[in-house]
Amino acid sequence: MVKKVELNIPTSFKKEPFFYNIIKEFKVIPSILEASFSTDTGWAIVNFEGSSKELKRLFKHLEEKGIEVNLR
């Protein structure tokens, strides 16, 4: 299953290897379609491929960390 999402990423993640950590912790494959990070905030449009269960687990984890997840 592939889900296209927009992520709104707080500044606190700017120096974190964000996508690397996702790949290590979850059984998903991210494909970054567009992304930008300014001094205040960042955003990314990403296709995540994985099982429905794993995608739900990922999105819940991201929201708990303060990252806004918008399904497209």
14 beta partners: none
Host domain of residue 51? 2-71
The per-residue pLDDT for 8 is 95
Compute the average pLDDT of residues 32-61.
94
Split into its structural domains, the chain has a count of 1
Cα angle 14, 22, 39; round to 5: 10
The model's pTM is 0.90
The per-residue pLDDT for 40 is 79
pLDDT digits (tens, 9 = 90+) for 2-39: 999 999 999 888 888 989 999 999 999 999 999 998 87
CATH of the domain at 58: 3.30.70.260
CA dist 46 and 57 (Å) reads 16
